[in-house]
Amino acid sequence: MAEELQSLLDRIQRDGVDKAEAEAKSIVESARAEAVAIVKKARAEAEETSVRAANEADALRARSEASLKQAARDLLLSVQESLQAAFERVAAKSVTEAMTPDALAAVLKDAITAYFARAGGAAGIEVLVPEAQREKVAAALLDRLSQGIRGGIEIRGDDTIRTGFRIREAGGRIEHDFTGTAVTEALARLMRPRLAAIVLGSEQGEVAAPAE
């Protein structure tokens, strides 16, 4: 009876130990698997975060470069516009100073002579000059023209003209506009691409010239 009881106790002990060891092994394996999963997840999240951070950094760098380039374009355009305005002011002043009554008379003499030559000596020409300069221009011009041409021209003052002159053929059609405004605008058009090349030419493609 004692032996059977001891045998039963031994079997219960073995079964308990085996079961405890199995459960312990299961718990360890489960914990190990969970730990591996946690590590994998952490690595994946870290890689995702790293990639996202790199992408955001690249995007930020691209936006920053684009902003800097746009700022450079705006600055160069502003410089170009300022230079253009300065040139136009200087050109207008120079044109005004150059268009004295004697200078106008010299230019008009050549223009009128060419008109008469083209018309075979029968041209009717109207010359419009600044009202304030009309008498001086007329006197200087008539001194330069032959008697035959003098009778075919009319010199009139025009308050809308500040400097320079306009020439009209008979019938009132304006043939040529040599007013200070027209000459200054022509000079500005001529210089605009040159100023743009000076201001924007040094960028060597880094900052594109603004479209007109």
Best mean pLDDT range from 39-43, 58-62, 131-135, 197-201: 131-135
Counting residues of the chain whose pLDDT is more than 70, the rounded percentage is 76
Q: Based on the domain organization, do 64 and 147 belong to the same domain?
A: no
Inside any domain, residue 200 = no
Helix (H) or strand (E) holding 169: strand 164-169
Query: Is the model's pTM score more than 0.75?
Result: no
Residue after which a domain boundary falls, among 74, 98, 122: 98
Counting residues of the chain whose pLDDT is more than 90, the rounded percentage is 0
How many domains, in total, are found in the chain? 2
Please give the mean pLDDT across all residues of the chain. 77
Q: What is the pLDDT of residues 121-139, one digit of tens each?
A: 556 788 888 998 889 888 8
Q: What is the pLDDT of residues 171-190, one digit of tens each?
A: 656 678 888 888 888 888 88
Residue after which a domain boundary falls, among 72, 98, 124: 98
- Residue range 166-172: mean pLDDT, rounded: 74
CB-based burial, 177-212: b 16+ in 10 Å, e otherwise: bbbbeebbeebbeebbeebbeebbeeeeeebebeee
